[in-house]
A and B are shown apart, each in its own frame.
Chain A
Amino acid sequence: MIDTYLIPLLKILFVLNATLVGVTYMVLLERKVIAWVQVRLGPMRVGPYGVLQPIADAVKLILKEDITPTRADKWVFTAAPIIVMVPALITFAVIPFGPVVNLFGRQVPLYITDVNVGLLYIVSVASIGVYGIILGGWASNSKFPLLASLRASAQLISYEVAVTMTLVSMIMTAGTLSMVKIVESQYNAHLWFIFVQPVAFVLFFIGGLAETNRAPFDMAEAEQELTGGFHTEYSGMRFALFFLAEYANMIVVSSVATTLFLGGWLRPFPNIAALSFLGIIPSWMWFLLKTFVFLYIFLWVRATLPRYRYDQLMRLGWKVLIPVAIANVVVTGIVMVLF
């Protein structure tokens, strides 16, 4: 009873809340990091060093008037933010934050569930999110959001292909689709997969930037051109859902990258006994640290690079990333057969 219902439910509750808090603080972190890059201070007013800023933001967004444009398609307009937010949250179901640990005398795995097609689940659920962006832009019945949603659909289709091809080479290396087993196979291989598949890592990271609509591929929002893109007509909490989903997706991509390439919850060089003192830091902490590194790079890139143009992004996707990803799959196959 406890093992089948109570513990999984508690875990879901915990992960969901932790994710939402993490997402709101991710927004603060972004503002802070970019401010530091730009020789500013960032939010400083709410709480010491602005640490309570997310709460103030949430209160503000909830209290704001929620406007639905009169000519918008009401049902789709309402559904779109939900379609974006929900997939971003439910992907966390298969992310392994740590191995099975002993908690209050009970063997508790630090992941909600271990599906044997975990990676496939993530890929398929994550690609539902783009419908929300397309529908949101279309249902607004406004020209700038429409252009943005066209951009988003073109962009996400081309990047989905490249990222999935990259994942194929990772599946070949790991020999499994289960997220937990992928980490375990890195333990058995005595190597993080970033050293086995460096090309795949770079491709995955670029694809991840494009899939989460982050700079320099944030064409769908491009406030300078499309005045905010697909969420131009959204206000209040509905806008916040789009906003939070973007950050949740960033965390998803970072967690997946950590699991696939940086050995998930494993400490550096997990098989070298001499470094066992690193085990003082618990496994879930290693996972969070590695994820944080990725998130930081996301912010850093945003603060540094200009934005690609839509056609240049498509060219990069179809003419560079996809061919390289396919070549990577072929090379991986040849190496696996020969050695």
Chain B
Amino acid sequence: MTTHTGQMFDTEELVINMGPQHPSTHGVLRVVLRLDGERVVSSDVVIGYLHRGIEKLSENRNWTQIILLTDRMDYVAAATNNVGYCETVEKLMQLEVPRRARYIRTAICELQRIASHCLWLGTHAMDIGAMTVFLYAFRERELILDLFEEYCGARLTYNSMRIGGLPLDIPVGWDKKVLEFCNIMSEKVDEYEELLTHNRIWLERTRGVGVISAEQAIAIGLSGPPLRGSGVARDVRKDEPYAAYDEMKFEVPIGTNGDTYDRYLVRLEEFRQSIKIIRQSIEGLPEGPIVGKVPRLIKPAVGETYHAIESPKGELGYFIVSDGKSTNPYRFRVRPPSFCNLQALPQLIKGHMVADVVALIGSIDVVLGEVDR
């Protein structure tokens, strides 16, 4: 028998199963952690508990029906999914979308971004133990849901876009309410910052936790706020403008250290930029039709296309193949930002403690409906 100096006891790693029923895995994410004390040695991320086969289902629905299915992917930002899908089909069919429709789409996308970020901020802060921010953020999200309800009647799954434009014009007075909301929201963002940004405990919990360098972030394929937190100024809205983003003035906030705190700061700044974009799009809303010239039967010619938009979580891309014969897509594939960002989780949590695991799951902001589809 040989004895090793420094190793007096038999040590074993503790395997802990976090999820799929766990308060902080944001849905049905399951993470199998191997712990040394409280430190994570390695981890397996298990997904698929919410798989509904949306991509395969879409191949058996006609082009308009698919909009409804896209709602169910990232269900906290359903309108963004609608916009992404509709624009992909428009690109495939080379349809012209009226300027008014593009402006309203921009406003809706940004309202949705604020709503999604509110949910992220609330749950992220809750995971770190600051529970009041959760209710404050949900209070503002409620205002956005009211606006959406007034626009399209639904509060969560909006089905609010159509190929070639919009199903409805905005209700009378809706633009005023949106501008009013912008005023409220810009005050509330300061309120969130007061509670968290300079809070010592918040700083200690987020600074230097889950650092990911720009090179690593690009190698993994991160997008959205996690990528920008690492200092890469990649934003589909700026780089490949869609809707009416080419006519909007806004900045792309980036971080420097790529830690949880920087990702938090990036998202908070995105609140402000979104408010700015909403103001521009509502104030400069052009008159005109809301639907372009769309054929009665939507049946794109043979071809394939990939189109990406900037969803609140990151780059949301659709790859669609049409065989030109049937009224449904031949192949339908989504590049979900949550799924790609989740790839970084094992690398992020390695060497950190159990408490940081939940902070990091919150920090990359995943929605399991989109991860599993």
Binding site for B on A (CB under 8 A): 34, 37-40, 143-144, 147, 150-151, 215-216, 218-219, 222-227, 303-312
The CB with the most chain A CB atoms within 10 A, among B127, B134, B355, is that of B355
Complex Cα spacing A151 to B303, Å: 59
Q: Which of A144, A219, A307 has the most B CB atoms < 10 Å from its CB? A: A307
Question: Given known contacts A305-B201, A306-B125, is B14 in contact with A225 (CB within 8 Å)?
Answer: no
| Nearest CB in chain A: distance from B58 CB, A | 36
- 29 A/B residue pairs, CB under 8 Å, sorted by A: A38-B135, A38-B136, A39-B135, A39-B139, A40-B135, A144-B16, A150-B38, A151-B38, A216-B129, A222-B129, A224-B24, A224-B128, A224-B129, A227-B23, A304-B132, A305-B129, A305-B130, A305-B199, A305-B201, A306-B129, A309-B204, A309-B205, A309-B353, A310-B38, A310-B353, A310-B355, A311-B353, A312-B204, A312-B205
Q: How far is the CA of A310 from the CA of B352 in the complex (A)?
A: 12
Whether the Cβ atoms of B24 and A303 lie closer than 8 Å is: no
Q: Bound state CA distance, A225 and B199, in angstroms? A: 21
State whether B131 touches A303 (Cβ < 8 A). Answer: yes
Q: CA of A308 to CA of B199 in the docked complex: distance in angstroms? A: 11
Chain A nearest CB, measured from B93 CB (Å): 47
The reply on B195 being an interface residue by CB < 8 A is yes
User: What distance in Å separates the Cβ of A93 from its nearest Cβ neighbour in chain B?
Assistant: 34
B278 on the A face (CB < 8 A):
no
| B87 touches A (CB below 8 Å) | no
* Cβ-defined contact, A38 with B355, below 8 A: no
Give the distance to chain A from B201, nearest Cβ to Cβ, in Å.
Answer: 5
| B330 within 8 A of partner (CB) | no
The answer on a CB contact under 8 Å between A222 and B23 is no
Which residue on A lies nearest to B127, using beta carbons? A224
Task: Kindly identify which residue among B35, B129, B355, B357 contacts A215, using a CB–CB cutoff of 8 Å.
Answer: B129
Complex CA distance for A257 and B30, rounded to whole angstroms: 44
Q: Count how many chain B residues have C-beta atoms less than 8 Å from C-beta atoms of the other chain.
A: 32
In Å, the complex CA distance between A143 and B16 comes to 7
**Chain B residues, Cβ within 8 Å of A151:** 38
- The answer to whether B354 touches A308 (Cβ under 8 A) is no
How far is the CB of A62 from the nearest CB of chain B, in Å? 26
Q: A38-B132, A38-B135, A303-B131 are in contact. Are A308 and B38 (CB under 8 A)?
A: no
Question: Closest residue to B133 on the A side, CB-wise?
Answer: A306
| Closest partner residue, chain B, to A216 (CB atom) | B201
Closest 7 CB pairs of A and B: A307-B129, A306-B130, A38-B135, A306-B129, A224-B24, A306-B128, A309-B355
Complex contact A225–B24 (CB within 8 A): yes
Answer whether residue B181 sits at the interface, using C-beta atoms and an 8 A cutoff. Answer: no
Contact of B205 among A37, A215, A306 (CB under 8 A): A306
Residues from chain A with a CB closer than 8 A to the CB of B202 are 306
Chain B residues with CB below 8 A from A224, complex form = 23-24, 126-129, 358
Chain B residues closer than 8 Å to A147, beta-carbon distance: 14, 16, 35, 38, 354
User: Counting CB contacts under 8 A, is B356 at the interface?
Assistant: yes
CB distance from B200 to the nearest CB of A (A): 9
| B132 in contact with A37 (CB, 8 Å) | yes
Residues of B within 8 A of A311 (CB): 38, 353
Could you say which residues of chain B place their CB within 8 Å of the CB of A144? 16
Q: Provide the bound-state CA to CA distance between A151 and B37, in Å.
A: 10
Interface pair B136/A39, CB less than 8 Å apart: yes
The answer to the question of B61 belonging to the interface, with a C-beta cut-off of 8 Å to chain A, is no
Residues of chain B with a CB closer than 8 A to A34's CB: 131-132
Give Cα A215 to B132, complex, Å: 13
User: Which of chain A's residues have a CB closer than 8 A to the CB of B132?
Assistant: 34, 37-38, 303-304
Chain A positions within 8 Å of B136 at CB level: 38-39
Interface presence of B22 (CB below 8 A): yes
Closest A residue to B202 using CB positions: A306
**Shortest Cβ distance from residue B250 to the other chain A in the assembled complex, whole angstroms:** 30
- The residue of chain B having its C-beta at the shortest distance from the C-beta of A305 within the complex is B201
